[in-house]
Amino acid sequence: MDADLEVRLAALEGRVRELEDMLAIQQIIARYGPAVDSLSQAQVAALWARDGVYDFGAEPLRGAEAVGKLVELSTHRAYVERGCLHSLGNPVITIQGDHAVATGNSRVYIHEGDGWKVERAAANRWELVRDGEGWKVASRTNRLLDGTEDARLVLRSVDRPLK
Amino acid sequence: MDADLEVRLAALEGRVRELEDMLAIQQIIARYGPAVDSLSQAQVAALWARDGVYDFGAEPLRGAEAVGKLVELSTHRAYVERGCLHSLGNPVITIQGDHAVATGNSRVYIHEGDGWKVERAAANRWELVRDGEGWKVASRTNRLLDGTEDARLVLRSVDRPLK
Amino acid sequence: MDADLEVRLAALEGRVRELEDMLAIQQIIARYGPAVDSLSQAQVAALWARDGVYDFGAEPLRGAEAVGKLVELSTHRAYVERGCLHSLGNPVITIQGDHAVATGNSRVYIHEGDGWKVERAAANRWELVRDGEGWKVASRTNRLLDGTEDARLVLRSVDRPLK
């Protein structure tokens, strides 16, 4: 194979891989809502890395299994029984090799009266890692956009490298 | 052309096609909201396959032409006259050759007082087919997230093959 | 390099570039919300072309610097102090060489009582240009979906070429 051709092919392969990574990460975040709103514990757990964390302001959930079990929390069950939608905004994604950060919003809508109430509006930072099975959530930090500084700090870290 | 090169090129062509399919399906779903909120009957109809179906809980609309005519329903006209937004969440997409399933949420916001009320929050399963003109909606099922089991069944079918 | 190979490689390069353009434009729009909700003036300004415009119904902001300064407006500061989320729906994107149009919705949620009120629901037309640094916003038009015809005209222009 001539050298110029090899360079063009390898460049394309790298660009296609980056596009695949972007869409794979979008898809992981898109999967979160349907999984929690249908009480699908295994599907939630499958999104997280084995030792991944979900910190939503209270004591963080540690490990994929613990994160999956959030669908059993009494607050979550009560939401789902009333009627509940978790919607995730399209995130900003930055990829560095086998690590990535995705920053975006989430909203929780709860059925109330003849409509739905916006129960939560939050800022999210997702840190992801690529392993043998593809991308997984290493850590998700979720902070309410209630006027306190915490959520704004999450949003300002959009381009902050992983560490 | 040498064999190794042919393999790499063909692999890239397949991967690029899959990425194009993902984005094309995202775009079809993104087009639904602007079309219904601007009463653009032909634009709504153009998203559906000729014999495509839209089932939103009442008697399903059958055929692209019938789906397009939903913008003439008195309930829909009344929404648009008050001020109305249909917003579709980024879906989970699974592609199998010329068939695809997209699962995601939809919300309808209606202008009320000095803000907007969340009038509907629903789970959606879109089944799509590729034909000569590109991807089209073969069937969309929409169920309110009002605490009943129907919507949760839609969300749980996220990875269920087409049939 | 043989002719058939050159044709296939060039076709792939063009297709990959179009996919990259789509995702780059999605990402620009995804960056808007986190930037305004965290009062990040420079990050907002960086999304616009130097002479870009933001027209949200009142006197348009002209120039990237002026657009960035919207985070200093007293109405915007008051929103952020109460707790505020700008969420942008996944847009319809049409690319023509170095110009693009993205059409989609935006919502503003404001913390109120024990939830969030939907303060704005709007139609948006983003016109983008590619320059040496990548894609930038040449113009954004935002109109409330409050029943008046203006917002519907924005949504109907989804496939209207740039000019």
Q: Is C103 exposed, middle or buried (0-12, 13-18, 19+ CB in 10 A)?
A: buried
Q: Where are the domains of chain A?
A: 3-156
pLDDT for position C30: 98
For residue C1, pLDDT over 80 is answered with no
Tokens of A38: 């249908």
d(CA A22, CA A16): 10
Mean pLDDT by 10 residues, chain A (163 residues): 87 97 98 98 98 95 98 97 98 96 98 98 98 94 97 93 68
Pick the CATH number of A3-156 from 3.40.50.150, 3.40.50.2000, 3.10.450.50, 1.10.10.10: 3.10.450.50
Q: ∠ at Cα B35 (B32, B38), nearest 5°?
A: 145
Percent of chain C at pLDDT > 90 equals: 91
pLDDT for position A1: 67
Run of H or E residues at B134? strand B134-144
Q: Which residue in C has a C-alpha nearest to residue B107's C-alpha?
A: C89
Distance of CA A154 to the CA centre of its chain: 13
Burial B44-72 (b: 16+ CB within 10 A, else e): bbbbbbeebbbebeeeebebbeebbebbe
Q: What pTM value is reported for the model?
A: 0.97
Mean pLDDT of C118-140: 96
ipTM over the 0.85 cut-off = yes
Q: What is the pLDDT of residues A9-28, one digit of tens each?
A: 999 999 999 999 999 999 99
Cβ B121 vs Cβ A116: under 8 Å: yes
Tell me the pLDDT band of C133, cut-offs 50, 70 and 90: confident
Q: Rg for chain C (alpha carbons), in Å? A: 18
d(CA B160, CA C5): 39
C-chain residues near A91 (CB < 8 A) = 30
Of the partner residues C27, C90, C109, the one whose CB lies closest to the CB of residue A92: C27
DSSP letter, residue B89: P
Mutate to test the interface with B, among A26, A38, A110, A114 (most CBs of B within 10 A): A38
3-class secondary-structure state, position C154:
helix
Question: Interface of chain A against chain B, CB under 8 Å?
Answer: 1, 5, 9, 12-13, 16, 19-20, 23, 26-27, 29-31, 33-35, 37-40, 43, 80-85, 87-88, 90, 109, 111, 115-118
A-chain residues near C19 (CB < 8 A) = 19
- Which of A101, A150, A97, A98 has its CA nearest to residue A123? A150
**In this structure, what are the phi and psi dihedrals at residue A122, rounded to the nearest 5 degrees?**
-140, 160
Q: Which residue in B has a C-alpha nearest to residue C105's C-alpha?
A: B87
For residue C22, pLDDT over 80 is answered with yes
- The architecture in CATH of the region C3-159 reads Roll (3.10)
d(CA A34, CA C53): 38
Q: What is the pLDDT of residues B42-83, one digit of tens each?
A: 999 999 999 999 999 989 999 999 999 999 999 999 999 999
Mean pLDDT by 10 residues, chain B (163 residues): 88 97 98 98 98 95 98 97 98 96 98 98 98 94 97 94 69
